[in-house]
Amino acid sequence: MFNLCLRFLSLILLSSFFSNILFASDGSPLLKGKINVSEPTEVAVVYDYDGDNYVQTVKTAADGSFVFDFDLPAEAVDVLVYVESEPFGAYLKRGETTVMDIDKGGDVAFSGDNLAENKFLNAYTRGFYPMQYKPSPDLPFVLSDYLDRLEKNAGEARRLLASVKEPRKSRYSRMTDAYYNEVLLRLLGMDSSYSKTDHKAQMDSIIATIDPNADESRLTGIINYWYNRSDIHRKGNAASIIDYMKDQFAGIDSVLTNEGNKKSLWMTLGSMFMMYSPSENDVQDFFAAVEPQLSRAPMVKERIMEVYESMKPKVSNGDVVPTDPVIISPDGSKCHLSDLLGESVVYIDIWATWCGPCCREIPYMEKVVEQFKGNEGITFISISRDDSRQAWLKKLDRDKPEWPQYIFDKSSGDEFMNAMSITGIPRFLLIGKDRKFISVDAERPSNEKIAEILNAAIGKE
């Protein structure tokens, strides 16, 4: 009934869970370092402890330095350190300090305590990071190329693992094997979609090896493959979605013994439910149905509710633009979105180079721009959500679009997307001369009536 996608959900959940609380300490900090940036940049530490997700954030100083010190739920934890949306791996232990300096290319120099663990976890995180294996319209998917990349990255992680001492070495070895298989399953699934090659037998054999009660199954996300092929999921045929959720939560509770893994699957299911835009009554019925499980997982319940709140429409047609993000042109000059509003109707395309549906709209956008060329009643702009400025510039150089192009400033762009409740792209916005939304979810350029829609918008002004 549901096709779970933990990686997609994690992006939504992280954007919802970021907290600005930082706990000060009189002793040595857990983590400190420096990033090669020209302006204050957000850094987040994200980690899982027994299936509960924790996030702490801080902004760098003007010189790019940062310090984290907060209360750990255990003596030591493995963490993801996000610089904007780019992840790095690190090991934090009470009373000891990890030091990491990150250069412009994403290379990390570690010093301080626990060097072997830090070097391994960073190679592990960087090597299996999902964006490493995400094809783009400009980089066609070739399975053998991606498998070569996987082998190379896994080999580097295993090389560094040799320097880690027991008992962490055995644990990290299991995590490496699980993450390797998770990426392999993802690649085989993509190849099945692209080339129509049947990989079912190979995928089934990998899934059969998954231990649903192992911590590494949760930490790498591979537990979702087990769940999708499990009897719990296959028997999910209840008459209503609330009844289905009740059966799934109870089934997971009865089959699994690892409480953290239960929480992980409950979190994913609950988040999926909230993405269906349930009514207030549906939400109440959902929590009542799964109360036997979530009463033991208060943080999961809180996080699911946060997802629900984040999914609520916050802006409607007729409202003013809720925030004023900084946008950056290809030459590096900056302005605010408000600087482009007020003189005409504005049709905004929010996209990214890695987004296939976004790129498929570009030829249609070109035709629409050409059709309205010389019409001062409307302005077209595209704003990229790319994390990589280089990828964005490369795409622009290849396509040579004839309408204004910008990329969001990361911090204010995230604020804008959250304020607009935009969780997927492409997204098109239509704003009138009065700076109010004509449409918060405008038709795409590929819509056969797009010219009629835009002419109607111009005529209203």
Q: Is the pLDDT of residue 17 over 90?
A: no
The pLDDT tens digits of the residues spanning 40-99 come to 888 999 999 999 999 999 999 989 999 999 999 999 999 999 987 789 999 999 999 999
Instruction: Give the pLDDT mean for 181-205.
Output: 95
pLDDT at site 176: 98
User: Of the given ranges (8-22, 211-225, 329-343, 425-439), which has the lowest mean pLDDT?
Assistant: 8-22
Tell me the C-alpha distance between 99 and 30, whole Å.
9
Tell me the C-alpha distance between 9 and 154, whole Å.
24
Q: CA–CA distance from 369 to each of 329, 365, 384, 401, 450 (Å)?
A: 19, 6, 18, 10, 11
Beta-carbon contacts of residue 451 (< 8 Å; ≥ 6 apart): 368, 371, 372
Let me know: does 49 contact 73? Beta carbons within 8 Å.
Answer: yes
Comparing 315 with 236, the larger pLDDT belongs to 315
Q: How confident is the model at residue 390 (pLDDT cuts 50, 70, 90)?
A: confident
* Sequential DSSP letters for 181-200: HHHHHHHHHHHHHHH----H
Residue 402 has phi, psi (to 5 degrees) of -100, 15
The pLDDT mean for the chain works out to 89
Tell me the C-alpha distance between 37 and 39, whole Å.
6
pLDDT at site 391: 86
- Widest Cα–Cα separation across the chain: 72
The pLDDT tens digits of the residues spanning 272-313 come to 998 887 888 999 999 999 999 999 999 999 999 988 887 777
Residue (of 412, 419, 415, 422) closest to 442 by Cα position: 422
Q: How confident is the model at residue 39 (pLDDT cuts 50, 70, 90)?
A: confident
Tell me the C-alpha distance between 400 and 408, whole Å.
19
Instruction: Give the pLDDT mean for 126-137.
Output: 85
Above pLDDT 70, what percent of the chain? 92
pLDDT at site 461: 52
pLDDT at site 131: 82
Angle value at C-alpha 110, between 106 and 111, nearest 5 degrees: 155
DSSP state of 338: G
Tell me the C-alpha distance between 152 and 281, whole Å.
51
Q: Is the pLDDT of residue 24 over 70?
A: no
SS3 letters across 58-97: EECCCCCEEEECCCCCCCEEEEEEEECCEEEEEEEECCCC
Residue (of 143, 31, 49) closest to 95 by Cα position: 31
DSSP state of 39: S
Q: Is the pLDDT of residue 398 over 80?
A: yes
Beta-carbon contacts of residue 441 (< 8 Å; ≥ 6 apart): 427, 428, 429
Tokens of 314: 């916050």
**C-alpha distance across the termini of the chain, in Å:** 46
Instruction: Give the pLDDT mean for 412-424.
Output: 87
Let me know: does 46 contact 55? Beta carbons within 8 Å.
Answer: yes
pLDDT at site 237: 60
Tell me the C-alpha distance between 376 and 5, whole Å.
44
Q: CA–CA distance from 260 to each of 89, 213, 215, 320 (Å)?
A: 21, 9, 8, 43
Place of tokens 């047609």: 317
Q: How confident is the model at residue 19 (pLDDT cuts 50, 70, 90)?
A: very low
CATH code for the structural domain at 1-113:
2.60.40.1120
The pLDDT tens digits of the residues spanning 326-364 come to 999 999 999 999 999 999 999 999 999 888 889 999 999
Q: How confident is the model at residue 145 (pLDDT cuts 50, 70, 90)?
A: very high
CATH code for the structural domain at 326-460:
3.40.30.10
pLDDT at site 18: 37
Let me know: does 74 contact 30? Beta carbons within 8 Å.
Answer: no
The pLDDT tens digits of the residues spanning 220-268 come to 999 999 999 998 887 756 678 899 999 999 999 999 999 999 999 999 9
Instruction: Give the pLDDT mean for 185-193.
Output: 94
Q: How confident is the model at residue 138 (pLDDT cuts 50, 70, 90)?
A: low
Rg over CA atoms, the chain = 23
Instruction: Give the pLDDT mean for 149-172.
Output: 97
